[in-house]
Structure 1
Amino acid sequence: MSEKKRGFLGRLFGGKDQAPETPEEAVSPAVANEAASETVESAPAAEVTPEPVAPEPEEPAPIAEPATPIVEADERTFEATETVVHPVADMSPEPLPLDAGAVPDLAPQIVAHDPAPARVSTDTASEEPKVSWFQKLKKGLSRSSSALTDGISSIFTKRKLDASMLEELEDILIQADLGVDTAMSITDRLSEGRYDKEIAPEEVRAILSEEVEKVLGPVARPLDLNRGKKPHVVLMVGVNGTGKTTTIGKLSQKLSQEGKTVMLAAGDTFRAAAVEQLKIWGARTGAEVVARDTGADAAGLAFDAMKEAKDKQVDVLLIDTAGRLQNKTELMDELEKVIRVIKKHDPEAPHDVILTLDATTGQNALSQVEIFGKVAGVTGLVMTKLDGTARGGILVAIASKYQLPVHFIGVGEGVDDLEPFSARDFASAIAGLA
């Protein structure tokens, strides 16, 4: 049909000529419009879904898929992993062996930056103006003095003296580690002319102080290093933990301040910490330190230290030793060997053998004095750790039984917390007198 006829018939019959010839084209305009709008809407919807390409961050899930075994393993061992985290945190000290091994080379550099020494010296400096030595001593003996003063007050308050009161007092004195002899001398003194009379607790404490001073007075002797020996050899002995190494360091400082040249021998070769501690003290006080690797022969080290000290003409050689239990014969035999080696250089050395005693050990200190006295020939004592937990009365019992000189007492960790022993101060402090 020609284009003209088609146009005429279309106008005449309302556009039937425009009907499509195929069924697919037989869609009404309205439907066509709807379809068009649907496609328009669906097209953006299709574009929006890519936008949440949020799934595509999820596509690391496939990337994590190779890691899936790891994820699964983590899930399976999650509790174990958590548990391991704490040990690892706890094992942060595990580097200690490594650090301890590395310290020897680093110790000299670390000394100046070590917070602990700096803190100690600062604290000591800040406390020094406020607290006198006697106040520190009194505080250190507070446990013993409190037990004594409380017991005395409970017995001698508004009562007349009789035999039962003296027995009670004797028990209290023995429990305070003063020893049977001292306890009896105090009760004997009280009983003189005082039966059936009231005695004030203050009077009893004054008598206690006087009797303790009588026992301690003869043993309160300073350490004499001016006896014409060069080097003057001091061997420090004692049980582990009694403060030998710290006492050597403090003593080295005192001697250096007096103008003496000092050499330190790190004879506690079993503990790396002891060797490093002594090196730090040496750096602080300007003292040369003779040291060997951990586990080295202590007797060989003592021999080398004696030779060095002689060659360099130092005034004082302080030799540290490993802590030994007094009931371990093989360890005590080794101490005897150290002494024999020292005598090869100088038959009169060591010129002083000082035993450090921990004031918190009580009666056990008596057996330490006895055994170390037999093996090493102890010539003097240093009582350490006289702090609030100390049982200081044991020093009175030791003095009464062995009459060994007491050179120093220590009441803390500070550099200046080691002082020459004073019998009067000690007696006043333990009796709770001002």
Structure 2
Amino acid sequence: MYTKIDEELFEELEYILVSADIGANVTMELIDDLKDIVKSEKINDPSLIKDKLIELMNSKLISKKLNHNFNITEGVPTIILVVGVNGVGKTTSIGKLANKFKTKGKNVMLVAADTFRAAATEQLTEWAIRSGVPIISNEEGADPASVVYDGIQSAKSKKIDILICDTAGRLHNKKNLMNELNKITRVIDREFPEANKEVTLVLDATTGQNAIVQAKEFRETANIDSVTLTKLDGTAKGGVVFTIQLEMGIPVKQIGIGEKIDDLQDYNDEDFVNAIFR
């Protein structure tokens, strides 16, 4: 317990932020702003400092005015393209998302357009069965854009509300990935112009600052509208959320907190900030 406000106290707070995977730049900015607040408000009680930091973090996130809801309008179909590298929990997140929308009374369909990774379609089919939603797929190595095309035609005929498409996460070959995503986008624009569109990037919270690198690299290949952050059920505090939203201006919309089908939750700024200091 600190008896005075000094550099040691600020260093302790800095350590908490960095340990929570909030990047060095954002951490330094927060601590500098906190020092300014302490000075301008003439705060002398060290027990107030942590709450002031939480207040500061919340106000910074709120000031970004990011929309944390998916682009869904009643009576208008929505197509969600899901991107992310292998191993981040992309397929699992799609299954959970499908279940979530279905529970809310939406007609949902999945499209297995990750035709590059072995067993990707098989895994997504398992999640489609678990979620009780139809799936459109093709053989391994098929053209992803043609699978999306088939999915769109089927979605139109079945009056589907939300079409969720899995895509390949080959970041090591950016040119191929970019061409693939561009081709898929052209098919969507041509065949489904009336639909709301969203590209959501799935990131693994346990990878820390590497998740930021992935977000920046994916943003070079596609227009990323939102982030789904997985694996927040372990030791990860998910401080990368702060950097993604503050520095990159991309809203986090969903967080994965466990293995169960309903363990995908809506993201909330205040809950996230409070969790860092638990």
Give the alignment's TM-score, normalised by structure 2.
Answer: 0.87
Q: Distance in 1 between matches of 2:126 and 2:96?
A: 12
Q: Greater CA deviation, 339-348 or 378-387?
A: 339-348
The code of the aligned residue for 2:185 comes to I
* Preserved contact between residue 166 and residue 187 of structure 1 (Cα < 8 Å): no
Is the aligned partner of 1:166 residue 2:10?
Answer: yes
What are the Cα deviations for residues 235-283 of structure 1, in whole angstroms up to 9, with x where unaligned? 1011111111111111111111111111110111123422122212222
Equivalence map 1:337-348=2 (5 Å): 337-347=183-193
Residue in structure 1 matching 2:235, options 389, 396, 410: 389
Aligned partner of 2:69 in structure 1 is 222
How far the C-alpha of 1:431 sits from its partner, in A, is: 1.3
Aligned partner of 1:34 in structure 2 is none
How far the C-alpha of 1:219 sits from its partner, in A, is: 3.3
The count of corresponding residues between Structure 1 and Structure 2 is 273
Q: Distance in 1 between matches of 2:220 and 2:130?
A: 35
Larger Rg belongs to: 1
Residue in structure 2 matching 1:312, options 141, 153, 158: 158
Cα RMSD, aligned residues only: 2.5
Q: Distance in 2 between matches of 1:186 and 1:348?
A: 46
Q: Distance in 1 between matches of 2:229 and 2:236?
A: 10
How far the C-alpha of 1:378 sits from its partner, in A, is: 1.0
Q: Distance in 2 between matches of 1:380 and 1:196?
A: 38
Q: Distance in 2 between matches of 1:378 and 1:293?
A: 28
The code of the aligned residue for 2:70 comes to L
* Preserved contact between residue 219 and residue 405 of structure 1 (Cα < 8 Å): yes
What are the Cα deviations for residues 71-126 of structure 1, in whole angstroms up to 9, with x where unaligned? xxxxxxxxxxxxxxxxxxxxxxxxxxxxxxxxxxxxxxxxxxxxxxxxxxxxxxxx
Equivalence map 1:412-431=2 (5 Å): 412-431=258-277
Unaligned 5+ segments in structure 2 are: none
More contact order relative to length (CA 8 Å, sep ≥ 6): 2
* Preserved contact between residue 263 and residue 287 of structure 1 (Cα < 8 Å): yes
Q: Distance in 2 between matches of 1:293 and 1:350?
A: 28
Give secondary structure in 2 for the equivalent of 1:386: coil
Unaligned 5+ segments in structure 1 are: 1-152
* Preserved contact between residue 235 and residue 350 of structure 1 (Cα < 8 Å): no
* Preserved contact between residue 30 and residue 57 of structure 2 (Cα < 8 Å): no
Is the aligned partner of 1:287 residue 2:133?
Answer: yes
Is the aligned partner of 1:199 residue 2:46?
Answer: yes
* Preserved contact between residue 358 and residue 385 of structure 1 (Cα < 8 Å): yes
Instruction: Answer 1 or 2: which has greater helix percent.
Output: 1
* Preserved contact between residue 83 and residue 201 of structure 2 (Cα < 8 Å): yes
Q: Distance in 2 between matches of 1:162 and 1:299?
A: 59
Give secondary structure in 2 for the equivalent of 1:292: coil
The code of the aligned residue for 2:21 comes to D
% identical aligned pairs = 43
The code of the aligned residue for 2:126 comes to I
What are the Cα deviations for residues 154-211 of structure 1, in whole angstroms up to 9, with x where unaligned? xxx34x33356535644653454323235423443245238894613xx333223222
Q: Distance in 1 between matches of 2:75 and 2:154?
A: 19
Q: Distance in 1 between matches of 2:43 and 2:146?
A: 67
The code of the aligned residue for 1:309 comes to A
Q: Distance in 1 between matches of 2:163 and 2:69?
A: 18
* Preserved contact between residue 324 and residue 332 of structure 1 (Cα < 8 Å): no
Q: Distance in 2 between matches of 1:206 and 1:306?
A: 49
Q: Distance in 1 between matches of 2:223 and 2:177?
A: 16
Equivalence map 1:105-184=2 (5 Å): 157-158=2-3, 160-163=4-7, 165-166=9-10, 169-170=13-14, 173-179=17-23, 180-184=25-29
Q: Distance in 2 between matches of 1:334 and 1:373?
A: 14
Give secondary structure in 2 for the equivalent of 1:424: helix
The code of the aligned residue for 1:291 comes to S
